[in-house]
Structure 1
Amino acid sequence: MGIGAVGGAVVIELSATGVREVAAIGAHCDDVAIGVGGTLLTLTARATVSTRVHVFVIAGEDSRREIEERHALAALCPGAEIEFTILDVPDGRAPGYWEAIKTALEAFRRTCEPDVVFAPQRDDAHQDHRLLAELVPTVFRDHLVLGYEILKWESDTPRTTIYHPLSRKIAEEKARILLKHYPSQTDHDWFDEDAFLGLSRLRGVQCRRPHAEAFVVEKATVDFGKV
């Protein structure tokens, strides 16, 4: 942990080095890329050893969107070993498939031992995202879970508590990958470069960096050392 002054303000920095295994959980094909794409780019680019990324998505199996997801995450995690678990739960119907999703998530948990888990945050207005946010801590009980935000038209932008700074280059590369690899989503009026860079710039302002991705943390332990 480091404490330093940035632009006249005191910033507390918590270092999370040595991340080798990541679980990235989303409701739909593109959630992970939108919420944590820049962080994945940074993690895999800085890794001195191969990083393993375990992806769990509840909707999109055997569809055009699954193909998009695989190509996008390969671009966002260059050099990483990526394992996919993609289910076929209908979009917008996750609450009706609670038991199937819970069972699949428990099976997914047995395949990995991640250093960090990225998942939706509890106050997301979309019922599929919110259901996953509620289930993930019941399965990954002893892990750091970072709840990411998903840009969309609902006014559910969370009050974030943890920021991962991004360079402008990384933020722009994330936006480029999103637009290139998710053509099925480009008809949404919020799915464009200005929106993605606008949100990451806002989060960057909040942590005094050029850009950032932001997360909600429900629980974490800080070790100040043994006496």
Structure 2
Amino acid sequence: MLPFKLQKKEPLNLLLLGAHCDDIEIGAGGTLLKLLQEYQIGKVKWVVFTSDETRKQEALESAGKFLSGVKEKEITVLSNRDGFLPTQTVQVKEHFEEIKKAFVPDLIFTHYRNDRHQDHRLVSDLTWNTWRNHLILEYEIPKYDGDLGIPNFYVTLEEDILKKRNQILMDAFVSQQSKHWFDENTFSALPRLRGMESASLFAEAFYARKVVL
């Protein structure tokens, strides 16, 4: 499933970065579940950069369910203001540097750099600014802006994995269920499209900006 230096016997250390409380799950949740099934996992560090108290509890619940089988994990949900992350660049960058000092990931998931949401773009930019010698996969978030691009890295998903991802999203993020886009149809639509593009039923797609052999 994973190329090059990640095809190794040692456990993988994973870093998952999301601007908002449900971003990681929507963009890379299926791939994460597949990695947990197919690879030895060392440590997983899961970081969300914006939240309020309600959303923080939902995010902790969701991350806990995704990582239920992981022995060594760290889930961090910060309280920066949603939609205003670029105004808090200094403290966000400082947190990135704290992660870098304490953790060496084999694989990093972050936002797509051409995402039209300002919080997403900042997290993506700081990811590349902070880690220079790592495999970084940028995930995509479907939204009103219509900013989906042309990904170049696909992870095929079995239907049971997609259903598990969707069920955790629906169960954990109760506060979001009044939004017109927050339903299983949305969460399955993009994986079905990316599945068609990768000659499979379902897939999550990513942007691998740089891969070094």
What is the TM-score of this pair, normalised by structure 1? 0.87
TM-score relative to the length of structure 2: 0.92
Question: Of residues 152, 173, 176 in structure 1, which corresponds to 2:164?
Answer: 173
> RMSD of the TM alignment (CA)?
1.7
Count of residue pairs the alignment pairs up: 209
Name the residue aligned to 2:77. Answer: 86
In the alignment, the residues of structure 1 paired with residue 207 and residue 107 of structure 2 have an alpha-carbon distance, to the nearest angstrom, of 13
Contact 1:24 1:119 in 2 (8 A): yes
Worse overlay, 158-167 or 66-75: 66-75
Structure with max Cα Rg: 1
Residue aligning to 2:61:
71
Please name the residue that 1:135 is paired with.
126
Residue in 2 aligned with 1:4? none
Amino acid in the other structure paired with 1:39:
T
Identity of aligned residues (%): 34
1:9 is matched with which residue?
none
SS at match of 2:119: helix
The reply on whether 1:108 has 2:99 as its aligned counterpart is yes
The higher relative CO (CA closer than 8 Å, separation ≥ 6) is in 2
Task: Name the CA distance, whole Å, in 1 between partners of 2:205 and 2:198.
Answer: 9
- The aligned residue for residue 13 of structure 2 is 21
C-alpha separation in 1, matches of 2:194 and 2:209? 19
Give me the whole-angstrom Cα distance separating, in 2, the residues matched to 1:45 and 1:77: 11
SS of the residue corresponding to residue 36 of structure 2 reads helix
SS across alignment from 2:45: strand
Structure 2 match to 1:44: 36
User: Could you say what secondary structure the match of 2:102 adopts?
Assistant: coil
Residues 82 and 151 (structure 1), Cα distance of their counterparts in 2 relative to 1, 3 Å cut: farther
> Which AA in structure 2 matches 1:75?
K
Q: Which residue is 1:225 aligned to? A: none
Question: Which of residues 133, 141, 144 in structure 2 aligns to 1:153?
Answer: 144
For 2:77 and 2:131, locate their aligned partners in 1 and report how far apart those are by CA, in whole Å: 18
1:151, distance to aligned residue in structure 2 (A):
2.0
Distance 2:203 2:42 in 1: 21
More helix by share: 2
Write the distance in 1 (CA, Å) between the matches of 2:132 and 2:157.
28
